[in-house]
């Protein structure tokens, strides 16, 4: 069965620090990959997605993610975080059987 692992459950950073959130998935076939973000009190919303092509994808608010097929990873990065990036981040994979599998989420707390 497919699964998605987000190893960092809670990350605390100061403003301007660089961010990298890990996401690994277990599935050998073709996958679509997503990062969603949930700001406090708001809906889940799409940050970025990878379907095919350039493995480095850019999303909203300066976020980017790199798909490394050999490592089954899709890590999220941002060079310089802001206080407004405080949120919970979810990695998701869509592969076989058209099911979405979500990671358990990473709570990011950015100190001003």
Q: Which residues bind other proteins (CB under 8 A)?
A: 32, 34, 36, 43-46, 49, 90, 94, 97-105
Of 73, 68, 79, 112, residue with least CA distance to 91: 73
Nearest-approach distance from CB 49 to other proteins, in angstroms: 6
Nearest-approach distance from CB 36 to other proteins, in angstroms: 8
Q: Between residues 7 and 83, which has the closer beta carbon with respect to other proteins? A: 7
Q: Between residues 67 and 90, which has the closer beta carbon with respect to other proteins? A: 90
Distance, in Å, from the CA atom of 86 to the CA atom of 30, rounded to the nearest integer, reads 32
Q: Between residues 26 and 104, which has the closer beta carbon with respect to other proteins? A: 104
Distance, in Å, from the CA atom of 105 to the CA atom of 47, rounded to the nearest integer, reads 14
Nearest-approach distance from CB 69 to other proteins, in angstroms: 18
Q: Between residues 28 and 97, which has the closer beta carbon with respect to other proteins? A: 97
Nearest-approach distance from CB 75 to other proteins, in angstroms: 18
């Amino acid at each position: 069965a497919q699964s998605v692992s987000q190893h960092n459950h809670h990350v605390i950073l100061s403003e301007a620090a660089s961010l990298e959130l890990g996401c690994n998935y277990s599935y050998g076939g073709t996958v679509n990959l997503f990062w969603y973000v949930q700001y406090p009190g708001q809906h889940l919303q799409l940050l970025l997605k990878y379907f095919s092509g350039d493995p480095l994808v850019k999303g909203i608010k300066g976020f980017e993610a790199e798909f490394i097929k050999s490592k089954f990873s899709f890590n999220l990065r941002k060079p310089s975080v802001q206080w407004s990036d405080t949120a919970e981040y979810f990695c998701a994979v869509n592969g076989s059987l058209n099911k979405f599998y979500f990671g358990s989420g990473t709570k990011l707390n950015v100190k001003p």
